[in-house]
Structure 1
């Protein structure tokens, strides 16, 4: 038996357009929630000895160009690599528009499946 961790629709560092229109909204705290959740996901995979992590789309949020988001992501993937955990990724509709998805160099433990044909690992 093996364990794996599945997540989707993470939308790392989403700008959450329109949030500023609410005067008392804790904007930065809400925006940081996705990173805290992703950190928890990585910790869980390591603590539980997961065989792999499956990220099933919309890791990023559209044409979000902040490269620090990419650096944050690759650092977390590095933690999983050090723990011997593979990462299997499928692009979602928001990822397709992301420059990060197209330009980010992924660590060797990360497999990004093609979106136009079937693939196996």
Structure 2
């Protein structure tokens, strides 16, 4: 998804109920976006971060070069990626308090807490 243009992204994504998200943002309420790791999560992340501040949990990939490509694609619209540990959970909570969008993949298991 790092190579998809903004124009292509806007023509490929359609959001049902986007007015509900917009209303929450206008009220200064944080939004929790919990999606299964099914479909094109990358597009959801790009779309969300393009519209509002967004923080999401991120577990680095084992292949360093591929990890850098994925990370840069996810961060290109301003998304903040936080680790899948206690510090990341604190960051999500702080983002919610600021009225931002947080995104998690609840079907992705976390590593042991440290």
TM norm structure 1? 0.34
Greater RCO (CA < 8 Å, at least 6 residues apart): 2
- Give 1 or 2: higher helix fraction: 2
Structure possessing the higher radius of gyration over alpha carbons = 1
